[in-house]
Chain A
Amino acid sequence: MKRVRFQRFLYLSLAGAVAAAAGCSGTSSGSNTGGGGGGGSTANVQAITVNTGPTAAPPLNSPYINGAFTSVTVCAPASATTCQTIGGILVDTGSSGLRILSSALTISLPQQTASNGNPIVECLPFVNGITWGPVQTADMTIAGEQAKALPIQVIGSSNFPTIPNACTSFGAPEDDLSTLGANGILGVGNFAQDCGTACTMSGASNPGLYYTCPAAGCQVTAQSLSSQVQNPIVLFPKDNNGLIIQLPSVTGSETSVSGSMIFGIGTQTNNGLGSATVYTIDPSSGNLTTVFNNVTYQDAGFLDSGSNAIYFLDSNTTGMPTCADATFWYCPATTQNFSATNRGANGASGPVNFSVGNADSLTAAATVGVANGLGGPNPGTFDWGLPFFYGRNVYTAIEGQNTPAGTGPYVAY
């Protein structure tokens, strides 16, 4: 019963999210490859919208703040008819791989299995919780780009209701709309796979993200790189070395703003690096270095469109109090202006000027989906969340992929 009710509200909110997503036309698709004739350009631009997202509608009535949402089309592999376009998908440069709530998915996709035929299920640790669910295979289409036979995670599937203790030991589940805050997550970060080589290992070196789940129960398993949930961009036939996220400048709070996700870096006339500065990142951690008030935070900064504020340092270091009712945000009496310096592993460095306003004021109205100046504490580190992306073109180059500025991984802006 709980489940029936839950599905109903998801449909409602999904409809709302699709309607709200600018430029998101059509709710189903057959083959929209869009890769026109003549060997010319591919349609590589996807609309994104920062707004209150799919959780804003009843019954949740919980507007998301600073979430960049888009839609993706998933089809059963090689099918032109078993397809679904899903809106309210959070664009996340802090992770890699497509994850969709099972409650938002109405089509059936094939289950990935191990060589012994047992289903593969994943436990994906985010900073503030985990997603648990089976790995399934889909053809994913976004703008004119297609990732065929893409391993994705379906979150919260009723086929695998029991989450292993070892998985919830990484954090609490984000397995429904209320806890995930989106119908899915499109991870388009610097890494080609979500886990990488660690998950290909056996024994104690394996961090325990992939499981085989026969009826008797789930066991951690080694998972090859190509079978892991991966960054869909890598599987595009072209424009597969990264992306640009383009969002307009924002002053204070707004209901909604529209921007673009442009696939490929230097592959077409619309995605060149131009005057952007390339900051290479640590290939293991994905981090760069940030300097603030002459203190160097080595390998402790990252650009993450999936974080909803600029989370940095602490009250003592920044001189700003946290909010009384929301200690994870800063609440200065007046807007504070800061300057930090980001430095790449390649030695490139440049200033970042940003401001932090009073979070209570910025988020007071229920219609607010966009809040520049939202900041919060994050002792010792710099999480450059979505407000960093406002007014910038932010490039994310994927590890191992060639670009006109060298091989990824790097970020540029």
Chain B
Amino acid sequence: MNSRITHGIFAMLLLPFPASASLGGDVTSVQTDQAKMQGSLRTSSNNTYTIHEIQASTGVAVKEYVSPAGKVFAVTWQGPFHPDLRQLLGTYFDQFSQAEQAQRSQRRGHGPVLIQQAGLVVQISGHLRSFLGKAYVPQMLPAGVHAEDIR
């Protein structure tokens, strides 16, 4: 599996990549993100999933969690700014955006984002110069992986 990913990174250097989803998308979207963020990529894996960590030159670190089936089931980020959430959340961005706005009006004030829907969980906290975020699709977590493992 590792060799397949290495192969994919090589391919990224040679080919233009189509814009594709990240969260919920397949592993090629990791390389799209890396290209967009102009960052360095580090890969690590255990028995149940692979983490691709992209360090952008803006100081934002993004981790994408990829299942054995090659799907991005979770993303996390940390840094002084937000990453491009439209790119990172992919097809889930609109759902996130609507939930964020609904929560804001219901909260009657400002505070961190905590979206807990059946098909999407998004948590964003912090302030400018220090943001922390996490998003995952509960149904896509590989067997034996818990939400707390995503950090």
Name A's B-contacting residues (CB within 8 A): 55, 62-67, 90, 94-96, 124-129, 165-166, 168-172, 174, 178-179, 181, 189, 191, 194-196, 198, 203-209, 284-287, 300, 302, 304, 306-309, 311, 326-329, 363, 376-381, 383, 385
Report Cα–Cα, A55/B108, bound state, in Å.
9
CB neighbours (8 Å) of A171 from chain B are 82, 85, 97, 100
Seed contacts A204-B37, A300-B132, A328-B107; 8 additional CB < 8 Å A-B pairs? A125-B128, A127-B113, A128-B100, A205-B57, A308-B107, A311-B112, A379-B125, A380-B132
Report Cα–Cα, A379/B59, bound state, in Å.
22
Q: How far is the CB of B80 from chain A (nearest CB, A)?
A: 6
Report yes or no: B108 in contact with A62, Cβ–Cβ below 8 A: yes
Per the CB 8 Å criterion, the residue count for chain B at the interface is 43
Report yes or no: B129 in contact with A286, Cβ–Cβ below 8 A: yes
Report Cα–Cα, A383/B113, bound state, in Å.
12
CB neighbours (8 Å) of A286 from chain B are 127, 129-130
The A interface, classified by DSSP as helix, strand, loop or mixed, is loop
Report yes or no: A381 in contact with B126, Cβ–Cβ below 8 A: yes
Name B98's closest neighbour in chain A (CB-CB): A172
Identify B127's interface contact among A66, A304, A309, CB under 8 A: A304
Report yes or no: A67 in contact with B103, Cβ–Cβ below 8 A: no
Q: Which parts of B93-110 form the interface with A (CB within 8 Å)?
A: 93, 97, 100-101, 103-110
Report yes or no: A383 in contact with B125, Cβ–Cβ below 8 A: yes
Report yes or no: B131 in contact with A127, Cβ–Cβ below 8 A: yes
Identify B128's interface contact among A55, A64, A124, CB under 8 A: A124
Report yes or no: B111 in contact with A196, Cβ–Cβ below 8 A: no
CB neighbours (8 Å) of A66 from chain B are 109
Report yes or no: B114 in contact with A205, Cβ–Cβ below 8 A: no
CB neighbours (8 Å) of B80 from chain A are 198, 207, 284-285
Report Cα–Cα, A126/B130, bound state, in Å.
10
Can you spell out 8 A-B residue pairs with CB atoms less than 8 angstroms apart?
A126-B110, A127-B126, A171-B97, A198-B58, A204-B38, A300-B132, A327-B116, A380-B125
